Structure formats: C-alpha cells, structure tokens
Structure 1
C-alpha cells in the first residue's frame, strides 16, 4: 500500500483528496504548511508527495528545492497541485524537480490516475536499476559499480564505468564529445576533450576482446556498435 504525503493548507481540499485516495487504497498523511511537509517527508519517507505551491512558512517552490537537495528525499516523486494555471509556475515547478503539475479545480480520479502512473514509473526504474545490464559476455551491475567480461572481473575507473553504461544502454547512438563531457563530468567541469579521448582509449583497450565496439565518428564523437 503506497503512502502519500499531502502538503496542502486548504482543509477542504485536504479532506477531498484524502477521502478519494483512501478509497483507492492509498495511505495519506497530511501537512498544513511547507515546514511540516519537509519534516514528514524526512521522517515518514512517503512513496509520493502531493504539494501545493502557496503554503504558509515555506512555499512549495522552496519545499521542492529542499527535497531535491537532500539524499533521503531527492528521489520521491512530487505532483504539484496548485490553484494557479500560470505557465511560469508550471515551468519553474517542473524545472526545480517536480514530476507533474495539476491545476485546481481538479478531478480526484485524474489525480489518482497520475499518482498511479508516477508510482509505476518508479517501479520500472527500480526494476531496471536492480537488474544487471547484459550484452554478449559483458555483465554490468549499476548498483555495485562492477563489470565482468566472460565472467572475469573488469577493472574500470568510475568514469570509464559511467561511459560504458551510457554506451551499452544507447547502442548505435552517436554522442558528441561535448555531450559526453557534460553527461559524465557535469556542467561545471573543466574537463577537456583530450581527457575524454584518453578515457575512451583506456576503455577500448579493456574491451578489446569484444572487438572494435567503440567507434569514432570523425568530427563528432563516439558511438557504441554491437558486434556480437
């Protein structure tokens, strides 16, 4: 039974949402302001949070920022439930890390359907995360950061591992050097293309028993080609 945290200061809406969600089998815990919402999110670890933006003490935008900045709450799905249909509110809320936005007045059935969709998405991600990637004689465990090739451990650096996961999960896709640097090293990285090329060279060497699976695309970057 999924646990839903509802952060809403309007009591009538709070009661409406709770009654309808409990009919659908959810457990609902309530918070009347942003401060209480953050406290309950940390303490009770809900499966999903429904969040109003115009809250006392701490507004919804700041609640999202705080939830996404903390390791124990950063992955909890958030659905904004807000009186405003303002496009900028939607954009800001989603860019801060909310997963969905529903304007008031709303259909309780639609809210319930959106919650179920988000929870299914979380489950799919969890299933994928727990399952090792397999391709030919290669097996990659994303949880433990380990790789085996023909049942023998493959000693990769963290960046080599992250590059390999990206390539194996996106075969035939051509990645520019700029994209790979941003994706693996981050937006603020000062890493140059030379460092990336060195990592690719080392990774190719470690995968040489698979054949030339990492192809260079002249003037662009790299692609992973399945040759098994």
Structure 2
C-alpha cells in the first residue's frame, strides 16, 4: 500500500485508460490526479508537485516526450519519477523517452495488477532497496563504501578503479533507474576529459569482470541500470 498518501499524476487522452489507472491506484492508497494532454499535465503537475507522473506518449497539443522534456528542466521535478505509458512498440520511442529523463516505461494494454506492482516498485526505489549511512550503499549482497572506495560482496572485499567505483555507485544509488550514456558521461567524467561511449562500455565490462554479470544490465540503445 502507498505510504503517506503519495501523489501521482496520470496524463492520457483516452478516458477509459485514465479511469482504469486512476481506480487501480486509488484502491492502492495513492492520491491520483488526471489530465488529458501534455499541456494540461505540465500545468497540473506544477500545481500538485506529485511523487510520480505517468505520461502517455501520443497525445494532442503536447505529447508525452515533450512534456517530460519540459518538466525535467524545472527544478521542482528534479526528483520526480516519470513513467511513460504507450501502445507504441517501436524501440525508438522507448529510447526517446529515456533520453528526455524517463525513469521507466510501461506498455499498453494495461494490466492493473502488473501496473500497480510496477508503480509500487518504482516509488520504493529510494527507500526499500538501498540504505545510505555514512556514505555507504547496502544493496542485496553488496556494500559500496564511498569513503574508502571499496566494494564488499558477501563480506569479501572487491577493489575497483576510481572511475569504475564512481560508475557503480551512480547506478546503484537508484536501483532500476536507467542512466543514459549522456548522463553517465556528465556525472562521472564531467567536462574534464574527452571520452566516448566506448569508454563507458570498457568500465562496465571491468565492473562485470570483478563483480559478476548480475548487477549491471544493458538497456539496448539507451544506457545501463543497476539490478537490485
């Protein structure tokens, strides 16, 4: 069940979809607000300041991609989860969504129980699967200690190079969130050196060699995420 009545905004131009999702999430205990297009959605979200926004991609007046892009430029939505909901199965639409800052992607037709489960998991990402104490992340069988730049797997020390550690820490700080290559480059290497996508791939490969393949997964055409 939702805690402290978390707020969700749903933006979709199909009334039946809005009604179905609204009913399912209200039943779970969330506060739910709806809008019929991207323009209305942005205005509503600025008023409500929700914990999570569900956006259809194909909508009149302003599509979900543009609405998400606009909101990601606003400081008040820096930590807001944004999820795309769409019937489109083309890979490019999913890539476009992640590139403008989406946290997840749910395909139609809607299966209420599966949808609620996914939303619950997304909203728990910052509290359930990670514990941050004294610059440490404790996730599954890993302890990632930012003070010592050491990683412990099942209690055994694993030494990573500095950039490998920083990359792992970034991904593990929000399990399940897809980080695009552009975000990774800005976060880890900033503008101090010239690096390419190949540089990221090499560092990911080294992390997998040292920790195993189960922690970091590739999202084709987009980037990487940490699997708790």
Shorter-chain TM range is 0.5 to 0.7
Q: What's the counterpart of residue 97 of structure 2?
A: 93
CA contact (8 A) 2:11 2:38 kept: yes
Residues 182 and 83 of structure 1, relative CA distance in 2, 3 Å threshold: closer
Matched residue of 2:162: which SS?
strand
Residues 113 and 169 of structure 1, relative CA distance in 2, 3 Å threshold: farther
User: Is residue 23 of structure 1 aligned with residue 27 of structure 2?
Assistant: yes
CA contact (8 A) 1:64 1:96 kept: yes
CA contact (8 A) 1:68 1:75 kept: no
Q: Choose from 134, 140, 161 the match for 1:132.
A: 134
- Distance in 2 (CA, whole Å) between partners of 1:166 and 1:118 is 28
Residues 93 and 182 of structure 1, relative CA distance in 2, 3 Å threshold: closer
So what's the TM-score if we normalise by structure 2? 0.61
Structural mapping, 1:83-162, within 5 Å: 83-124=87-128, 128=132, 131-133=133-135
Q: Choose from 68, 81, 93 the match for 2:85.
A: 81
User: Is residue 35 of structure 1 aligned with residue 16 of structure 2?
Assistant: no
Q: Choose from 144, 155, 159 the match for 1:172.
A: 159
Structure 2: unaligned runs, 5 residues or longer: 137-144, 152-157, 168-184, 195-228
Structural mapping, 1:208-219, within 5 Å: none
TM superposition shift of 1:167: 5.9
Residues 183 and 77 of structure 1, relative CA distance in 2, 3 Å threshold: closer
CA contact (8 A) 2:7 2:50 kept: yes
So what's the TM-score if we normalise by structure 1? 0.61
Alignment length, in residue pairs? Answer: 158
Structure 1: unaligned runs, 5 residues or longer: 135-163, 193-228
Q: Which has the higher contact order (CA 8 A, sep 6+)?
A: 2
TM superposition shift of 1:95: 2.3
CA contact (8 A) 2:135 2:147 kept: no
Q: What's the counterpart of residue 53 of structure 2?
A: 49
Residues 111 and 44 of structure 1, relative CA distance in 2, 3 Å threshold: same
TM superposition shift of 1:91: 1.5
Q: What is the root-mean-square deviation in Å for CA atoms of aligned residues?
A: 2.8
